Amino acid sequence: MSDIAGELARVREAFDRPTLRLLDRKWAPFVLAVFKLSFSRDRRSVQADRLHAQVDAYLADLRSIGSDVPGKNGRALCVQWMNDQWLYRETGDDEEEQYSLTSHALEALLLVDGLSRDRALISESRLTTIVDTVRHRATQANPDRDERIRRLDQEIDELAAERGRLAAGGEIASATNDQMHEGYANLIDLITQLPSDFKRVEESVAGMHRQIVNDFRAEERPISEVLDEYLSKTDALMSSTAEGRAFEGAFVLLRNDALLTELKNDLESILLHPFALELSAADRRSFMGTVSLIRKGVDDVLTQRNGLTTTLREHIVNHDVVKDRELERLLREINKELAVWMETAGPRSTVTAELMPGTLELEHLRERFYDPGAHKAPPPLEDVSAYAPKPPSLDAMRTQGGPLLEELRDAIVTAFTDGAATTVGAAFNSLEPALRRPVEILGLLQIATQIDAVHSAPSAGSDASTESAPTSGNSETFETVRPDGSRRTFTVPRITLTDDDTAALAALNYGSDDD
């Protein structure tokens, strides 16, 4: 009875672990399917809101085909899975919450993948791996110097004989596709266990982190004793747990960049064998990502360990012994006053106490003190009038101004009265350069508008030559002269003036003179 009772207790303990609890639940296939689709080797974490939406979408798809699914929504399921230790929620680098799989969930996925994948339980590759590993460990375990030398000499002789045979032109035996498939399956078996192994080490360090934080908060010993103890724990952090010791042993190899480079080259050599043509693109990509998988796992573990070191450093830096002593003295005085009050207070007596101190009622709080330098006069301005440029003349300033309306009206009236021009453009082109600035075109259009020479249209049956409106689609060229002497040509609708228009235009100037 004792044997079966002990074995039953051990099995029950195993079933209480989150890994087997996940496989033993009613909705285990659904949960594992969601984990398989949502997470991968390249996608280790998923933003929280996105995973909630994905789970809702999966539930809707399964309900549409009549499958039995849980009755909760995506958010509630994710929270439940987090409480069951299958999901881990943390804040990422972008300050957003994200989910990642725990080592228990990774172990469950690994177990299901192994059961659903066709693989040989025993093969030449697996036996060779076992034999080579046993031989290597036996050599390391044997303290006999002569026996270790004998083993090394035997291995050297075997390698030298093989090298000599190849150098003499011996035949190179190429591995068959079946042998390569067996070796590949054996490697995949080992590689797929790496994420869960790294995750267990990461969770072990995170657990120690939480323990140290809780001990800091509840510690009643002197601060110097606490820091000495936890600093010594930091030095032996990775050797205090089984996962940490295993990681430290592997980390010696993982720090060797040359070894990782050689591993990458060996992976490429394996995929150059013809058997790799039978693998899918995803399998080849996953196989080649082994080195990245190892580096990422190491980085995650080191990040957790650095977080623990940061916690210790911040506690050392921020811990204020003086404030602790002041608080302890204040609490001691409160206890003393409480004991005095209890001598006269009844069983239902109460004391009104403010949880937070009151605010000071100040009308104004001075923010700056008097500064005599703020009331000093500014230094006198430097006299730079000798460097001032020569002021422009009145005529130069007028050339930069608006149109000369009176001069333009007189010049246009004269041109049309003498018969020297038939259109406003011709009259403009005959003016002196001072009246042919580009801005004078706007002045001419304004003058023509004042006598309604632009908008009036020829009446039906009238002679077009006597009308003042521009012919539709007809235009003429204005040759302008800028104040600096440069010239520019503008195209303006053709405008002609009748005798009445000319008289009206002259009346504008004359009327102004009469006023």
> Tens digit of pLDDT for each residue in 348-388?
788 777 777 777 777 777 777 888 888 888 889 998 888 88
Of residues 60 and 180, more confidently modeled:
60
Provide mean pLDDT across the span 191-206: 73
pLDDT tens for 85-124 read 888 888 776 778 888 888 888 888 877 776 766 554 555 5
**Encoded amino acid at 189, one letter:** D
The rounded percent of the chain whose pLDDT value lies above 70 is 78
Q: How far apart are CA 116 and CA 21, in angstroms?
A: 19
**Higher-confidence residue: 259 or 83?**
83
Outline which parts of the chain fall under CATH 1.20.58.70.
Answer: 124-131+179-318
pLDDT of residue 126: 61
Best CA proximity match to 249, nearest among 237, 257, 238: 238
Please tell me whether the overall predicted TM-score, pTM, comes out greater than 0.75 for this model.
no
CATH 1.20.58.70 corresponds to the domain 124-131+179-318:
yes
Distance of CA 34 to the CA centre of its chain: 26
Q: For the stretch 373-385, what's the b/e string if a residue is b when 16 or more beta carbons lie within 10 angstroms of its beta carbon? A: eeeeeeeeeeeee
Mean pLDDT calculated for residue range 252-264 = 75
Tell me: the pLDDT tens digits for 8-34? 787 787 777 788 788 877 888 888 888
pLDDT reported for residue 234:
57
What is d(CA 401, CA 439) in angstroms, rounded to the nearest whole number?
8
Class of CATH domain 2-108: mainly alpha
Q: Which residue stretches of 18-102 are H helix?
A: 18-24, 28-38, 48-64, 74-83
Say which residues have a Cβ less than 8 Å from residue 490's Cβ, sequence separation at least 6: 438, 441, 477, 478, 480
Every domain range in the chain assigned CATH 1.10.10.10: 2-108
pLDDT at 479: 92
Residue 393's pLDDT is: 84
> Average pLDDT, whole number, for the chain?
77
